[in-house]
Structure 1
């Protein structure tokens, strides 16, 4: 997804799976379907009374019909009432649904969120309303997980670790331009600090920095909050934020909207095809044996992962002709291996939107009737469903990967618990991608993945290596802000905008 707020999903709507309790030499893995609907049965107005009222734009009927049980129900296309209201541009109904706290992270059968439909329709106020509700529900989810997060933090034990990220691509000559990063993690009691140098990264651009994220436990004045400090070690500035709480608003909301409106809507998901995992072999003919690799100070068993298919889906109907030409130009240069470091720098600068994007003109009024919508497809092969909003411009691409992982027999710590914590504390998209890969449960139950090959974009994979791990306590000074650091002034920054 083309935003820092949304990444690869909420954990359920991306990938999940099972891993056999025993460890055979070779086995197959079948990914569970994305949590999108797949209905082909009921189609009458009575079956979907709320959806029908929304489709017709009948605000009074929606007010009467909406209940706790049906507000997030799915129709034959997997659309919620909110999906439909946004597609049709019914602002009052959208506001009403959001007041009833309808879920904004439900994907329809084609894998699109209500936010994606809002971007397609192109009304800034609607995009802002959905983003705010997303943030609100995200915080609510954190609050509900707070007890488990604190429990996980205490169970991990004290340690210092270094995770090295190296990015690679199949595109000729581009790998030498891709960044790397060394994340340093200090954990002591209920405190954790993460230092990293890669602030943001996508297929065509990245931003370097020197940031530290420090979590010092619960807010002593309010047990419902977590206090976190972000330090910019280059500018020698810091900012304290509350992860939970109504006062924690997105100060860069307008910039997020501008970014969403100027980029394609993109998702990259693992396919539902079988994935095979087997012990890697070394040697020749009759002298082959299970491959063992030394990673840092660890001797690790190597597994090959094959038939790993990444499905990339992209929508562009909301973009101007100039936007499309610019993205297509960069894509062709990328695939031709003709992308220079100067191009990458210009690409990142283009992410810093220079002017506020205006709302798009509403799409032509749809002639699609309820009967056409609820039971129809736009094409004979039933791959594209009837869409009552702005006509979709859609591109899909599949790419097969071969990946690998190295597992050390000694279990250093619970990697799932660590990644759950890092995902909350560090807004670093690749921790989330790593967690999603771990959630595939391709890895053995025992041992620790000291090296992983993870697809992060359709053209880019990352090799994540545990460079160092020591079970040790960290000095308390590591979790304090240096005295010469200045507090970042949010109000002054907003005035500059």
Structure 2
């Protein structure tokens, strides 16, 4: 049997699925396991695309990177799902979660060390979820994240836990991070049940086999992925531009001030971020006809309501040749594949892709204050990075504020989360300046903290980082701090058309959502319809489509009324200015 070719030796072993030779080659440590072939694939990506399970297993045991995305933006797990092989999906998903867990855990001590070097503080982050769709907006909640930081200890309290079965899940939960010499201690405190789940990161990272075993997904989870579309959603910020918001008329520009949490943001310091695009792509080649039919039939009322158009495309559609296989449908030879000068045109390996895509454009708004004493990079970003580990909203915020923002601290930020939902985040009550807290105080003038160079000397009670008396302390519950970056709110708002890859929560069926929306619409339309008298004959309730049409009309009338009020206020201002100029 001939040995591997002179170039891409690991890839050639993968192509032939010679997994024993691949194991030996990896043990020799002479080859780069992350080398890309002429088509941009690593050995693991190639093995998954070809459906060579034995080679995939060998590469994963040797720590091949599961998190890498292809040139087309598809993750290894998504390509595994496209094969339709349950064992492949289970294996890749287990190692994906294991690698993600170890990487996140390893990064926490560094984030805590960053915090240790910054001044102590307390701050509140108010999250308000809004929507331009009236019915959705009525169902959107708000939450306040309370943040204490002392040394390299951090505590974040929240009350909004998630969205499940059409109901907002509320509770009192604290996340406590404490730096230690051997790593860090993470505690999740459930105040309602008086339970504490603890995890020592140093110990966890030294027990890889035990950690890997806990990451094995259930058969139901694997089956759910294989019967659902593959969806990739990401914010494209390459063309983002920041523009100052202007105010005034006749070319005049006034220094209008807007106070946010006690800090003034001038009109010139309010920015709009334009050209923020949400790109959504959906693949269905792995689905059976029944699954595809259910997926299309499960189109949510929101999608019909909003008229969300999709562009459909199909790739790898070349005719299947005699020597083709399900994972090599156009019978590409290894010599053709590994020759960088050979054009494959529309030919490719893997199942022929069936994909729909759409792009939606959004605008974000920033209120900036150059007087705010908090440092975005040193104090706030480490907190956002820590919370983004298990909170999809913080992950979206992190992706946005890592852009090159204009100067100043963002005292208020409004960003798009999904197609119909925005999040408005406001920083307030810095060090208890608005509402005093017993756990935070301003130190005496003679103390070292007060004499420090900190612009806002603040002392935090160390007791807030300790387990309350009477609580039961348990071991790690990895399902929470290390869960996938799913977002149940996303399922409610857009369901399958905008589902992020990696959602693990139970799907809300279109039927249940339609019933809920119908009830909400009926209540909202009750005030706008003429009530019939006691003698009036009972009319049949309007259809769901008719209710949606009426809801849109109501929304349009409300918007028109707001615009009329705005024009009236502008006209009044102009008349006032004209009179004042005449008097001069």
TM range (shorter): 0.7 to 0.9
Distance (whole Å) between structure 1 residues aligned to residue 149 and residue 286 of structure 2: 44
- 1:215 paired residue number: 176
- Equivalent residue number for residue 333 of structure 1: 301
In the alignment, is the contact (CA less than 8 A) between 2:125 and 2:425 conserved in 1?
yes
Distance 1:78 1:205, change over 3 A: farther
- Corresponding residue for residue 270 of structure 2: 302
CA distance in 1, matches of 2:241, 2:289: 42
Greater gyration radius: 2
Offset of 1:136 from its aligned partner?
3.9
User: Which deviations, in whole Å up to 9, do the C-alpha atoms of 1:50-94 show, x marking residues without a partner?
Assistant: 323312323255346555653112233322111111122212111
Distance in 1 between residues matched to 2:227 and 2:162, nearest whole Å:
17
Residues 211, 331 of structure 1: CA spacing in aligned structure 2 closer, same or farther, 3 A cutoff? farther
Contact 1:127 1:257 (C-alpha < 8 Å) held by counterparts: yes
Per-residue deviation at 1:468? 2.6
Q: Deviations over 1:280-317 (max 9, x none)?
A: 10111322346642212111220111122221122233
- Residue 389 (structure 1) aligned to one of 344, 347, 350: 350
Deviation at 1:335, TM superposition (A): 2.7
CA distance in 1, matches of 2:199, 2:46: 36
In structure 2, distance between residues paired with 1:206 and 1:264 = 25
| Cα RMSD (Å) | 3.4
In structure 1, the partner of 2:17 is 57
Give the aligned partner of residue 396 of structure 2. Answer: 433
Measured in 2, the distance between the counterparts of 1:252 and 1:168 equals 37
Decide whether the 8 Å contact of 2:174 with 2:188 is kept in 1: yes
- Encode CA deviations 1:116-169: one digit per residue, 9 max, x unaligned: 112222434433333343344335434654553232111232222111222233
Cα pair distance change 1:488/1:58, threshold 3 Å: same
Work out the CA distance in 1 between the residues paired with 2:287 and 2:160: 28
Give the corresponding residue for 1:237.
Answer: 195
CA distance 1:227–1:489, change in 2 (3 Å): closer
Q: Is residue 153 of structure 2 the alignment partner of residue 191 of structure 1?
A: yes
Q: How many angstroms does 1:460 deviate by?
A: 2.6
Where in structure 2 are the equivalents of 1:251-266 lying within 5 Å?
253-254=217-218, 257=222, 260-266=225-231
Contact (CA 8 Å) 1:226, 1:243: kept in 2 or not?
Answer: yes
Q: How many residues align?
A: 415
Alpha carbons of structure 1 residues 150 and 130: separation in structure 2 relative to 1, 3 Å: same
TM-score, normalization: structure 2? Answer: 0.63
1:477 equivalenced with 2:463 (yes/no):
yes
Does the 8 Å CA contact 2:105/2:201 hold for their aligned counterparts?
A: no
Deviation at 1:387, TM superposition (A): 4.3
Residue in structure 1 matched with residue 417 of structure 2 by the alignment: 456
Aligned to 2:364: 403
Judge conservation of contact 2:285–2:352 (CA < 8 Å) in 1.
yes
SS at 2:125's partner residue? strand
CA-to-partner distance for each residue in 1:149-201, whole Å, 9 max, x for gaps? 23211123222211122223344532222332221111122221111123346
- Work out the CA distance in 2 between the residues paired with 1:396 and 1:448: 36
Query: Is the deviation greater in 178-187 or in 128-137?
Result: 128-137
Query: Which residue pairs with 1:8 in the alignment?
Result: none
Residues 206/260 of structure 1: CA separation in 2 closer, same or farther (3 Å cut)? farther
Query: Where does residue 181 of structure 1 map in the other structure?
Result: 143
Which residue of structure 2 lines up, in the alignment, with residue 359 of structure 1? none
Task: State the partner residue of 2:554.
Answer: none
Q: Could you tell me whether the CA contact under 8 Å between 2:90 and 2:216 is conserved in 1?
A: no
Structure having the higher helix fraction is 2
Q: 1:281 aligns with which of 227, 246, 252?
A: 246
| Aligned position for 1:167 | 129
1:420 corresponds in structure 2 to 382
What SS does structure 2 have at the residue aligned with 1:389?
coil
Kindly state the Cα deviation for residue 464 of structure 1 after the two structures are TM-superposed.
1.4
In structure 1, distance between residues paired with 2:42 and 2:373: 43
Going from structure 1 to structure 2, the CA distance change for 1:321 and 1:163 (only over 3 Å counts) comes to farther
Question: Does the CA contact (< 8 Å) of 2:363 and 2:416 recur in 1?
Answer: no
SS in 1 for 2:79: helix
Deviation readout 1:94-118 (Å, 9 max, x if unpaired): 1111122111111111101111112
How far does residue 364 in structure 1 lie from its aligned partner after superposition?
A: 6.9
The corresponding residue for 1:293 is 258
What's the counterpart of residue 527 of structure 2?
none
Report whether the alignment pairs 1:311 with 2:276.
Answer: no
Q: TM-score, normalised by structure 1?
A: 0.73
